[in-house]
Structure 1
């Protein structure tokens, strides 16, 4: 597995926190530990940290500000239930027993908790943070089409939305299994749904989380833009004044770069790549493209790709090329993206366009 250097710390913390309740049961069963410290650090109250950490992980890759007071606020449920478990949790039962959550949450003779109270709270916590995560992704103000010429799952964070869905599934199946011991008779495979959803959750988190680097780069570009805007304000240069700047030289360089060098054939072409070649900031280049061509970077690059694809589809020397091959030759990295963008531009599918030509 290739681990990105800028992997947010919250992802690492997630993989530390998730096994904590299991470690608490293991320590209690193997070594007979049952102290306040063990109950505090290795109790099932750690489940209340998974939702907040996943939420902060999403915020970190979406360039959202994370304040210390917000971290403390979202940690309150974990702190409260940790203190609660010090007083009410019974010693862990042998590790071989089932239903470890029930064993840890079982009240002592001193205090009695409502039946399934903590299991219900964990389920509600999971659902609450799943909703927050989905809303955060959908309401993100990052305009990815201003920075990338190809939009995939890692840019749209579609995998994180699916992860949030699995997080809800994990909560619901866990609640059903604990609250309704006989549910396996009326709901087939209910006991398998919990472990399966847990496995899928960990798989998605590890497979995609450590590979997620795209929006981290976008964060750097966004911060760079903010600094350039601040600097411009300090010298009394506001963005609207850029309209008075002559972009003729930049326009000529852009045409040479895109048409002469055919840079659009690079399927991973980004705004930052072009800005380096043009020796201008990403902020200035984005402004130039929007003002001069009345389109964002995504559409600007894909217009060149579609024009190139149309040329190849009409070229008899490419008759033996499949539609997918034509798409790859034009700078697209998938058949679905090629078909979608092509139809948006021409109102025809690539196959129909080839037949019409």
Structure 2
């Protein structure tokens, strides 16, 4: 099978799956409509980007539409960035300021106006034949790679902050979605790095290497899309988000230092701590897999800000770890109970508020140094 036929086959499969998943995302009934729509747009833009082989079969000469198809790649990473924001934050809304993300796309098109978009077909053909020496194309390739680097860094920063906010305010299973989004972003970063290598060869003396890398990229991209589809369909409740208005404890402390140092009332601190601990032991809110710091704040009538400082700063524990400590302690009591020796580890983890075996094992080993099974066997 020659290179062209292989490219056509991989492209057709990739386009079919991309459009199928995009259609599914925009038609499925869900409260995460914005997130689904943004990822559908990301898939469509990606499909437009990988359709080059089929497009060239239908259009024999360089055209404005063909060039515009290439420039659509500038929209891919900004849409992915907005998608990450929408997944991480429950109050995400599309705002007029996001139009600024179109700027690189507009710049890339504007600089092509004089010597490509506004000239005749013969001039377009000459432009494409001498693409390696065309300053406009070189500029656009540099611009898109700068754009990718900036946005990838921005995505990782968003994920890092969202994870910190989650750990300080939530104790459910949403941490799995951030871990998965991090993995997905890493894989996408690798994809863009490979694309960078491909473009370097495209403007070198070995452009044929670029074509073979393109086949590898298409196949890799196809696998990523299938991976996402598999993950989304098997974990429909995976993507849950948090309130972007929440502040990190470090920021709260910084604000207090900048405003006016708060007098530390040790007695009040001890009273609030005792109240919190008593509530955790007697009411066992940790048995709720989705318990949040807001839930506990409402129950014991301590403001979220104060409770967050108490747990995350004074006790030097994330809320996530704080709640899991009580869950593990409860699990240890069950494991020690001889009358419950027939209860399985899986049943125990659900009983004490965990929602996955991996998170239970991680928390249990962090707290005891042993896995639940090893702990039970050592008794």
Q: TM-score range by the shorter chain?
A: 0.5 to 0.7
Q: Secondary structure of the residue that 1:108 maps to in structure 2?
A: helix
Residue 149 of structure 1 deviates from its aligned partner by 1.9
Give the distance between the partners of 1:4 and 1:163, measured in 2 at CA: 23
Q: Tell me if structure 2 keeps the 8 A contact 1:58–1:133.
A: no
Q: 1:57 to 1:2 in 2, by over 3 A?
A: same
Shift of the alpha carbon at 1:337?
1.9
Task: State the alpha-carbon separation in 2 of the partners of residues 21 and 351 from structure 1.
Answer: 50
* Equivalences for residues 119-138 of structure 1 within 5 A: 121=142, 124-125=145-146, 128-129=149-150, 131-133=152-154, 135-137=156-158
User: 1:248–1:127: structure 2 CA closer, same or farther, 3 Å change rule?
Assistant: closer
- Name the CA distance, whole Å, in 1 between partners of 2:313 and 2:85: 31
Return 5+ residue gaps in structure 2 as ranges.
Answer: 1-27
Q: 2:46, 2:168 → 1: CA distance?
A: 37
Change (3 A) 1:71 1:171: farther
User: What are structure 1's unaligned runs of at least 5 residues?
Assistant: 92-103
Counting helix residues as a fraction of each chain, which structure ranks higher?
2
Alignment of 1:230-241 (within 5 A): 240-241=262-263
Give the secondary structure class of the aligned counterpart of 2:291: coil
Structure 2 residue 70 is the aligned partner of structure 1 residue 53 = no
State the partner residue of 1:194.
217
Aligned to 1:7: 34
Q: Does 1:334 align with 2:356?
A: yes
Q: Name the structure 1 match of 2:109.
A: 82
Deviations 1:125-171 (A, max 9, x none): 57524641464257537343211224655453442443342343256
Asked if residue 316 in structure 1 is aligned to residue 338 in structure 2, the reply is yes
* Residue aligned with 2:268, SS: coil
Contact 2:336 2:376 in 1 (8 A): yes
Q: How many residues align?
A: 331
Q: How does 1:5-84 map to 2 (within 5 A)?
A: 5=32, 7=34, 11=39, 14-15=42-43, 17-20=45-48, 38=65, 42-58=68-84, 72=100, 75-84=102-111
Q: Quick one: structure 1 residues 24 and 245, their matched pair in 2 at CA, closer, same or farther if it must change by over 3 Å?
A: farther
1:261-300 to 2 correspondences below 5 Å: 261-290=283-312, 293-300=315-322
Report the CA distance between 1:62 and its aligned residue: 5.7
> Matches of 2:83 and 2:287 in 1, distance apart?
33
- 1:343 Cα deviation after fit: 1.9
Alpha-carbon distance between aligned partners in 2 of 1:83 and 1:114, rounded to the nearest angstrom: 19
CA RMSD of aligned residues (A): 5.1
For 1:163-242, list aligned pairs within 5 A: 163-169=185-191, 172=194, 176=198, 179=202, 182-183=208-209, 192-203=215-226, 214-215=240-241, 217-222=242-247, 240-241=262-263
Deviation sequence 1:271-307 (CA, Å, 0-9, x none): 1222233344321221233466453322221121111
